Amino acid sequence: MVEIKGLEKFASKDFPGYISSTVFLGGCNFRCPFCHNADLVLNPGRLPTLDLNFFLSYLDSRKGWLDGLCLSGGEPLLHEDIEVLARVIKDRGYLLKIDTNGSFPERLEYLINEKLVDWVAMDIKASLDRYQEVVRAPVDPEKIQRSIELIRSSGLNYVFRTTVVPGLHDEDELMKIGEWLNGAACFQLQQFVPHNTIDPSYIKIKPYPEEMIKDWAEKLRPFFREVLIEGA
């Protein structure tokens, strides 16, 4: 089964509306310079792996108290055997949320069709024509678009979210994203956190002022049923 590299036992913000834990999986196919999980992305093999028996015992011991788990990373769908971990969690009666970058639509579709996921959060890195520039890795735009369409038509609760980074995102860029995702149920602006970034130079970047993030959120509201802000 896929190796678990971290477990946050109480993750109050990761699974909206539910008492949840977050499971962190190592590895990612993107190299977003602003990512603050640098070790998980770049050096997962150097991080300790959670003992499987401990994890199973943890799941069993939290029944009746914990509502669900969030699979995050890294990129959870990078792992071919993600289905096994999802079934272990779902077979114990927990809700499951997946955080994904949208580059593995086939695995996402399988989890949705098998009813192994209840909630999806997809990170929108940039407007589609700037994806490769921003994530600093090869990108298949059709796969990103396919994941968006799968999520929107799934009937599941979902959120598309963009981390707003000075130098990479501005108002024009966010409006392009809004037009691209027009009509989606929920969009979230996330404040950039200059900590443990993949590109060390991004630690020196000062996040946008809180009022600017709030102003952009208001301008994005016509595109979505709901617009949220995290970290500002």
Return the pLDDT at 232.
Answer: 67
Residue type, 204: K
At 82-94, the pLDDT tens digits run 999 999 999 999 9
Q: Domains in the chain and their CATH numbers?
A: 4-230 (3.20.20.70)
User: Are the CB atoms for 128 and 104 separated by under 8 Å?
Assistant: no
- Report helix, strand and coil shares of the chain as percent, to nearest 5: 40, 20, 40
For the segment 50-57, the average pLDDT, to the nearest whole number, is 94
Residue 131's H or E segment, with its range, is: helix 131-135
- The size of the chain, in residues, is 232
pLDDT band at 231 (very low <50, low <70, confident <90, very high): confident
Predicted confidence (pLDDT) at residue 107 exceeds the cutoff of 90 = yes
Closest CA to 124 of 196, 182, 200: 182
CA dihedral 103→21→119→91, nearest 10 degrees, is 100
Task: Say which residue, 43 or 16, is predicted with more confidence.
Answer: 43
Return the pLDDT at 13.
Answer: 78
3-state secondary structure of 187: strand
Predicted confidence (pLDDT) at residue 12 exceeds the cutoff of 80 = no
Predicted confidence (pLDDT) at residue 10 exceeds the cutoff of 90 = no
Return the pLDDT at 11.
Answer: 80
Return the pLDDT at 60.
Answer: 96
For the segment 7-13, the average pLDDT, to the nearest whole number, is 86
Q: Residue 179 and residue 182: Cα distance in Å, rounded?
A: 5
Residue with tokens 């699979």: 71
Closest CA to 200 of 72, 91, 9, 42: 42
Say what the pTM is. Answer: 0.96
Q: To the nearest whole number, what is the mean pLDDT of the chain?
A: 96
